Structure 1
Amino acid sequence: MNVFNVVFASNILSFDNVLWGDVYKATLETLHMTVVSTIYVFVIGLVLGILLYVTDENHAWENKFVHGALSFVVDIFRSIPFVILIVLLIPVTKVLVGTMLGPKGAIPALIISAAPFYARLVSIALNEIPVGVVEAAESMGATTLKIIWKVLIPEALPALISGITVTAIALIGATAAAGVIGSGGLGTLAYLIGYTRNKQDIVLVATVMILILVFVIQLMGDYFTKRVDKR
């Protein structure tokens, strides 16, 4: 190891540039963006996923036009890279929340990018439910809405929780990407304050904090998935 590498490593590990109050604030901002957007994504994605399922062929509300239109919209928005989407949505974001900066400005793009992704996971989870379970409920005279709330969602719950866990982790990554254009949080701390000013210790701390958040969310998701799994 040469002298430059020794000095570089010692600068990172000394954490001289790290202001822990800023790290705490950035972590809270990332948590705020992740939690708020995950709640909205869960509700919107669940509704979209259920509609994709019930309007599909051989299902209760079969409608090729509605199903095709929903599939098209879901596939379009989940295919657009997040950084491009957040720029495209700047006019919409300004109308909805009054600003494109800070955590508040990132949330609409986070929701719009992740809800279609989760909707697909919901649709896949519902399609994996044995047909006989649904047919049994239909034979007992259950309405479509009752089947949705009493059969489909309970049967698919482990997969739904697992899916929202994956989505929440993806949202943490998206908040980091949004930080590059000033949304706040650990992404802004790592890029605008750490990387652009060559303060590698800040980049390291921000990265570790993001990893901790990911591990915590994954552990929580695994725990609740096991709790509701009846198999």
Structure 2
Amino acid sequence: MSPEMLALLLKSFWETCYMVLASTILATLIGVPLGVILTVTRKNHILPNAPVNSVLGAIVNATRSTPFIILMVAIIPLTRLLVGSSIGTTASIVPLTISAAPFIARIIESSLLEIDHGVIEAAQAMGASPMQIIRKVLLPEALHSIVLGITLAVIALIGYSAMAGTLGGGGLGDLAIRYGYQRFQMDVMLITVVVLIVMVQSIQSLGDYFSKKLNKNKL
């Protein structure tokens, strides 16, 4: 591989890291509150509210069921409004965030529902408010499971970021399409795939490590 191509590979790698990191942070900031609301507004939970749960659940399901490539095209006006462009690495963060946030919300909901209801009832018996139960019981008890779930979300975002490259989003996906596919440089395609595999394996290993550590600390 030529020095120029190596420099381009490194640039694409950092673009992918930037897209994935930024969208993970933003999607987590949106998805965690959504997941908590979806959980606590369920029937027989601490803040039951059927209308809120139904409407929010429908929105989350609708967004999750939309293929990323279609979502990316559909929200081009919103992307332009927020970042001033629909093409480029920064522009790709908008659809990546919107795609990942509902996924994270369902992960949070699933993790919180695994908590023994007796723990919640004990906290209520001691006079804890709903917000105290969320902050001091639900989230800490489910933290190790949440870490694993967000790890899955990050891995999914790596795949989505590669798809974003097909629409001018930059990153490793763009490199693979422009050079590996369109110019038939199979060495570029192969190296791009290897880099993506290493990224996924590294993130999964880190997620497993921190989840196990948090679970042991809880025990």
TM score, norm. by length of structure 2: 0.97
8 Å contact kept, 1:18–1:202: no
Percent identity for Structure 1 against Structure 2:
45
In 2, distance between residues paired with 1:119 and 1:130? 20
Q: Report the CA distance between 1:219 and its aligned residue.
A: 1.1
Q: Report the CA distance between 1:193 and its aligned residue.
A: 2.2
Structure 1 residue 62 corresponds to structure 2 residue 48? yes
Q: Tell me the residue number matched to 1:10.
A: none
Q: Report the CA distance between 1:18 and its aligned residue.
A: 7.2
Q: Tell me the residue number matched to 1:121.
A: 107
Q: Tell me the residue number matched to 2:90.
A: 104
Task: Report the 3-state secondary structure (helix = DSSP H, G, I; strand = E; otherwise coil) of the residue aligned with 2:42.
Answer: coil
Q: Computing the radius of gyration over CA atoms, which structure comes out larger, 1 or 2?
A: 1
Q: Report the CA distance between 1:227 and its aligned residue.
A: 1.1
- In structure 1, the gaps of 5 or more residues are 1-14
Task: Report the 3-state secondary structure (helix = DSSP H, G, I; strand = E; otherwise coil) of the residue aligned with 2:167.
Answer: coil
1:72-126: CA deviation from partner (whole Å, max 9, x where unpaired): 0000001100000000010000000011111111001001001101101110111
TM score, norm. by length of structure 1: 0.92
1:170-196: CA deviation from partner (whole Å, max 9, x where unpaired): 000000000011100000000122201
Q: Tell me the residue number matched to 2:121.
A: 135
Aligned residue pair count = 217
Q: Tell me the residue number matched to 1:228.
A: 214
1:42-81: CA deviation from partner (whole Å, max 9, x where unpaired): 1211100000001110112211110000000000001100
Q: Tell me the residue number matched to 2:194.
A: 208
Q: Report the CA distance between 1:215 and its aligned residue.
A: 1.0
In 2, distance between residues paired with 1:70 and 1:85? 19
8 Å contact kept, 1:17–1:199: no
